[in-house]
Chains A and B, each alone.
Chain A
Amino acid sequence: DGGITQSPKYLFRKEGQNVTLSCEQNLNHDAMYWYRQDPGQGLRLIYYSQIVNDFQKGDIAEGYSVSREKKESFPLTVTSAQKNPTAFYLCASSIGRAAQPQHFGDGTRLSIL
């Protein structure tokens, strides 16, 4: 089945540690996105990529980094600079044109030890 796979489902981070969240899609979509979801808030955009080897900051990029070396993969690193990393992280993808549905993975829940 085509879809978006996020791993791991649960992740724990120690103080001062960087952690990387995986996102893989086999939908042949050009665009990929990372969102953060906190209770009572709408999804907030962290980073997005419209094409391989290119990505742009979203509204809350500080403390995060991404790469887009392959079309199907868009990993997110939560760095130690992100002081409040506990959240539910969602990856999405869409075809490369405007005004098209974004399709989501099932998320990674990151917690601090």
Chain B
Amino acid sequence: GESVGLHLPTLSVQEGDNSIINCAYSNSASDYFIWYKQESGKGPQFIIDIRSNMDKRQGQRVTVLLNKTVKHLSLQIAATQPGDSAVYFCAENIPNTGNQFYFGTGTSLTVIP
């Protein structure tokens, strides 16, 4: 089967810097993607989503970029704060399955004060 993967398992950034977390997907027919944040011992929290008819979507301090040509997704966090420390993973909607997703393994973001 096809899967979603992350390039970097860990990322450390200084407080106030910008963070970029990457994700590769392999199904060119996938048309909906989500980024989740998961803190230790808690469930994943929805951050932002993007559909394949868009290249970029912005939220509060977060931006998701979608490059369909190379099947790549990224999450940018502006002015990273200690509260942003968590595992971030992307999810890819599996075509023709209703609302099933492939979930990436995650990148652990550590913010250094």
Question: Which positions in A face B, CB cutoff 8 Å?
Answer: 4, 6, 31, 35, 40-43, 45, 48, 50, 58, 90, 94, 97-107, 109
Residues facing A in B29-61 (CB within 8 A) are 31-32, 34, 36, 41-46, 49, 51
Q: Which residue of B31, B43, B49, B105 contacts A104 across the interface (Cβ within 8 Å)?
A: B43
Q: Which of B11-19, B62-70, B92-100 is the contact stretch?
A: B92-100
Question: Which positions in B face A, CB cutoff 8 Å?
Answer: 3-4, 31-32, 34, 36, 41-46, 49, 51, 89, 91, 93, 97-106
In the bound complex, residues from chain A placing their C-beta under 8 Å from that of B32 are: 99
Task: Kindly name the residue among B49, B91, B100, B105 whose own CB sees the greatest number of chain A CB atoms within 10 A.
Answer: B100
Q: Is the CB of B89 within 8 A of A48?
A: no
Please give the distance in Å from B93's CB to the nearest CB on chain A: 5
Q: Is the CB of A102 within 8 A of B43?
A: no
Q: Which residue of B4, B99, B102, B106 contacts A94 across the interface (Cβ within 8 Å)?
A: B99
Number of A-B contacts (CB under 8 A): 55
Output the nearest chain A residue to B31 by Cβ-Cβ distance: A99
CA distance A48 to B97 in the complex (A): 11
Task: Kindly name the residue among A6, A35, A58, A102 whose own CB sees the greatest number of chain B CB atoms within 10 A.
Answer: A102
Q: Which residue of A40, A97, A107 contacts B99 across the interface (Cβ within 8 Å)?
A: A97
A-B contact pairs, 17 of them (CB 8 A): A31-B98, A31-B99, A35-B103, A42-B89, A42-B102, A45-B100, A50-B98, A90-B44, A97-B99, A98-B93, A98-B97, A98-B98, A101-B46, A102-B34, A102-B101, A104-B36, A106-B42
Output the nearest chain A residue to B52 by Cβ-Cβ distance: A99
Q: Is the CB of B98 within 8 A of A42?
A: no
In the bound complex, residues from chain A placing their C-beta under 8 Å from that of B44 are: 43, 90, 104
Q: Is the CB of B46 within 8 A of A107?
A: no
Output the nearest chain B residue to A4 by Cβ-Cβ distance: B43
